[in-house]
Amino acid sequence: MSVHETYPYLLVTEKRGKLKCWSTSGVREIDRGPTVDYGGQGGLGDVVFQPRMANFPHVYLSWVEAGQSDTRGAVVGRGVLQHPCMIWTPPPAVIWRQTPKTTGRGHYSHRLAISPDGAYLFVASGERQKMTPAQDLTNNLGKILRLNLDGTPAAGNPFADKGGVAAEIWSYGHRNILGLQFDAQGRLWALEHGPAGGDELNLVKPGQNYGWPLVSDGDHYDGRAIPRNSTRPDLAQPAISWNPVIAPGDFIFYSGKMWPEWKGQALIAALGSEGLVRVRIDGEKASEQARYPLGKRIRAIREAPDGSLYVLEDGEGGRLLRLSKA
């Protein structure tokens, strides 16, 4: 879900492959979108506008693409969307791919964020439930990538001297990132699903190893223990972790326009805890401040220009809600 910075409309992706545009005049389905490989956790993924482009901005879209021999992987495409809520001109063309494509239908992540200066595209690439690729710099699974806006590796990435896909990598040791956002200071944060316990909010720094699957504050689903983050101080530590999990869907850093007391805090859309979770940031650490139950699994959250909140429910029949101060 992405809110346009100039015009009063937002884009909503549906996993089966539909891209819909909401505006004050109603909801419109946008034609000529990509063909997606739908199933499990896969399908149409994230969508972001290129910032500071009021007329016909580039739109970045992620989805799952089928490969050979029952494999698949996430891709990112870039296209131009006519205003308001019109067809693609041209349709999104693939500029980045998960490498390699693998079997299974989980942990694509494929969240997108554009740096505050508008110069770089950051992509969250999940480890596809294979675990060990997250520690292997010869692939781009279980990583956060820093790319130029055309999808090529950005100059100055920490592993550029290794060549190949390693030149894309900004950080590694990630599991399944479902939130990727910059704060007001320009720092990048990632919100990550843990296994049975161990959801994490991480401050992302270049070249850092975030530990998966070597450590976690949760355990494997079959009950096997995983060493805790604290046992490896040489690895990047989460700003906050949850056990039991909140099963995050997405998050934002809030401006404070409608609720000034929340300025700079993270507002998390939570699937497992069925509501919103508010988290305060103190330097490089974080602490949970409150939970707001909504009685539904919440997939996504975005801030409207006036500071109210767009909240998207998960699953069949999910509603787009707007929350404002009473």
129 contacts 104 by C-beta, under 8 angstroms: yes
314 contacts 250 by C-beta, under 8 angstroms: no
- Model confidence, pTM: 0.96
Is residue 278 located within the same domain as residue 218? Answer: no
Vertex 184: Cα angle to 181 and 190 (nearest 5): 25
46 contacts 52 by C-beta, under 8 angstroms: no
Check which CATH number belongs to the domain holding 199 and give it: 2.120.10.30
Is residue 220 located within the same domain as residue 298? Answer: no
Question: Of 208, 243, 278, which marks where a domain is finished?
Answer: 243
80 contacts 60 by C-beta, under 8 angstroms: no
Is residue 216 located within the same domain as residue 260? Answer: no
Is residue 36 located within the same domain as residue 183? Answer: yes
State how many domains the chain has.
2
Output the tens digit of pLDDT for each of the chain's 326 residues: 887 766 668 899 999 999 998 887 888 899 888 999 999 999 999 999 887 655 667 899 999 999 999 999 999 999 988 765 777 888 899 999 999 999 999 999 999 999 999 999 999 999 999 999 999 999 999 999 999 999 999 999 999 999 999 999 999 999 999 999 999 999 999 999 999 999 999 999 999 999 999 999 999 999 999 999 999 999 999 999 999 999 999 999 999 999 999 999 999 999 999 999 999 999 999 999 999 999 999 999 999 999 999 999 998 889 999 999 98
Is residue 96 located within the same domain as residue 164? Answer: yes
The catalytic residue positions are 107
DSSP-assigned states of every residue in 96-139 = EE-SS-BSSS---EEEEEE-TTS-EEEEEE--TT--GGGG-TTS
For 148, the domain range is 2-243
